[in-house]
Amino acid sequence: MSEQKPYIVSARKYRPATFKTVVGQKSLTSTLKNAIDSNRLAQAYLFCGPRGVGKTSCARIFAKTINCLSPTSDGEACGVCESCKAIERGNSFNLVELDAASNNSVDDIRSITEQVNVPPQNGRYRVFIIDEVHMLSNAAFNAFLKTLEEPPKNVVFILATTEKHKVIPTILSRCQIYDFKRITVNDMIDHLEYVAKEEGIAAERDALGIIALKADGAMRDALSIFDQVAASSRGNITYSSTLDNLNVLDYDYYFRLVDAFRAGDVTTALLIYKEIRDKGFDSLFLVNGLAAHIRDLMVAADARTLPLLETSQEIAGKYAEQSKLLPAQWYYAAIKLLSDCDLNYRTATGKRLLVELTLIRLCQLLKPATPPFDSLDRPLPLNDPASTPHTAAAPPTPPAPKAVSSPRETAPKPAEPAPKPTAPAPQPQQAAPAPPQRRAAKGAVRPTAFRLNEKPDKGNTPVNRLEQRSAPINPEGFAAAWNEFIVRNPSLHILVNAMRGAKPQPAENNVYRIVVDHPAQLQAFELSMPRLLEYLRDSLSNDLLTLRVEVAEAQPSNKHLPPKEFLRKVVEENPAMGNLLRVINGELI
């Protein structure tokens, strides 16, 4: 029975051994190779960047290359000489590695500084690699400064860190700094395809794209996830098995949700949400994933921002196709709604209801609800709720005909039937529900609803978001709308009492002056002013209406006088009383 070879994880087995096998750092490795080829080596290097992008691997390759006894023509280490083999085996005296995460004291650095005077064996340089150098203590940093600045000519220090900002400036100033970038998704997919081919594993490219996205720019993480998925799928990595193994939500759900939002299909959006919940995904996971998906759609909509799209080329094509179907403003509004949902999710009692409400609002961005249900802040009409939206919006319009009919002019002729021929004059006011409808649609904009490129139906007033209403306001119509707001909002006790006692008077053009008795009533007006103004403007079809509330000046009160002064004042104001006191020889005491 043959002895089975020990299993080696892919992250170790396929660790880069030469500069050309380093994934995603082509410009950086070219710079290092040129420095070696021109013999312009610095005494200290600092490799910094995210985890798993090849910092330590490049440091080892650099050490092997500068000590190679017979380098290749393209500047790579040969891998067959004694020096290269010793470094690969890990027993070379020319390469010393220190993990600063667990060896961060002054004594650990002193052991390094004592070894720098030992000459190299079977090579030209001794290379000291200090990994996670930011973990060194301040005392260790200070003990290392002198040696780092003036080491022996055959010594090279390579420091590696994921947090460059934690390295003290005096260390940074003594090093050549190389910033490693995150590895792109396409580069990781290509390398994973190579690994799968070498291991004899069948792998779909879409599945490898999911692994690359999950790795978040770290090649080491991608190889570890690859091993995990390969083990669970028994050597056949498919898209569906990868999704199940990594607990990742399929892109298709997000694309279907956006299609439902575009069509205004609330039912489909809620059913897709139920489907996602039934698969065991957390609602907050959906909210954040959907926000990221819409962000990627926004990025794909403009060719200038395509480099910001971190996904495979196949998925990028789907993003570009769907992004053409939505206006740019929709993305901003949708992301704002999802961001608000994320902020409120942790404190919400009904978390599922909060997410469902957010999905409904997303469906209404391009297809707002009809008045009067388009604004949550607008009070519902008091008439039959089963009536149509046009009849429901009718109560605010009765005062308008009064402004047109001009009762003062017709008052001298109350019995004449002559005004009947002028009956068509109120017709524009019969169409007055249309301006409130436009305003109601504006109400739906708060915070995010809007309508773009939509042709009006025949017989309906076209919606114009930029139109400003400025119908004339007469005192009778204002009083009717004022009293109707009182009837519709009995719960606002302080405001309603103040409104009943106040007598609004026109002050300037479209400005009404309201005088209240005390500051509490003024505060009630200030707190409910947006709601009151919105109602009055909708009822009177005038967006320029303004209310100016003031507190009445305090009336001078009678000063309370002492009894003697009070009697003296009475005597002064009543001469007869003064004569009586003189007759009886009386005195005020």
Q: Does position 391 have pLDDT exceeding 70, yes or no?
A: no
- Asked if 370 and 413 count as a contact pair (C-beta separation under 8 A), the reply is no
| Structural domain includes residue 484 | yes
| Structural domain includes residue 299 | yes
Given 348, 363, 378, the domain boundary residue is: 363
SS3 content of the chain, % helix, strand, coil (to 5): 55, 10, 40
**Percentage of the residues of the chain whose pLDDT score is greater than 70:** 80
The residues, any chain, with a CB within 8 Å of residue 429's CB and separated by 6 or more, are: 397, 400, 401, 403, 404
pLDDT at 390: 39
| Structural domain includes residue 482 | yes
| Structural domain includes residue 505 | yes
CATH number at 521 reads 3.30.300
- Asked if 81 and 69 count as a contact pair (C-beta separation under 8 A), the reply is yes
Domain with 484 in it:
475-551
Q: Are residues 347 and 482 in the same domain?
A: no
**Percentage of the residues of the chain whose pLDDT score is greater than 90:** 21
| Structural domain includes residue 416 | no
| Structural domain includes residue 466 | no
pLDDT at 287: 93
Given 363, 389, 404, the domain boundary residue is: 363
Q: Are residues 26 and 159 in the same domain?
A: yes
Q: How does 291-307 read in b/e, with b if 16+ C-beta sit within 10 Å?
A: bebbbbbbbbbeeeeee
pTM of the model: 0.58
Q: What is the DSSP letter of 470?
A: B
Tell me the pLDDT tens digit for each residue of 194-241. Answer: 999 988 888 888 888 889 888 888 889 899 999 989 888 888 888 888
Q: Are residues 238 and 358 in the same domain?
A: no
What integer best gives the mean pLDDT of the chain?
A: 79
Alpha carbon of residue 568 to chain centroid: 77
- Asked if 79 and 18 count as a contact pair (C-beta separation under 8 A), the reply is yes
Q: How does 454-484 read in b/e, with b if 16+ C-beta sit within 10 Å?
A: eeeeeeeeebeeeeebebebbeebbebbbeb
Alpha carbon of residue 520 to chain centroid: 39
| Structural domain includes residue 263 | yes
Tell me the pLDDT tens digit for each residue of 554-567. Answer: 655 555 667 777 77
From CA 140, how far away is CA 170, in angstroms rounded? 13
Tell me the pLDDT tens digit for each residue of 71-92. Answer: 888 888 888 888 888 888 888 8
Name the least confident of 44-48, 64-68, 457-461, 546-550.
457-461
- Asked if 12 and 58 count as a contact pair (C-beta separation under 8 A), the reply is no
Q: Which of the two residues, 579 and 589, has the higher pLDDT score?
A: 579
The pLDDT of 484-510, averaged and rounded, is 85
From CA 291, how far away is CA 298, in angstroms rounded? 11
Return the beta strands (E) in 268-339 as ranges: none
Name the least confident of 48-57, 76-85, 372-381, 495-504.
372-381
Q: Are residues 66 and 140 in the same domain?
A: yes
| Structural domain includes residue 415 | no
- Both tokens of 141, joined, read 């940093």
Number of domains in the chain: 5
Beta bridge partners of 512: 506, 547
Q: Please list the alpha-helical segments (H only) found in 364-426.
A: 389-392, 399-405, 407-410
pLDDT at 341: 93
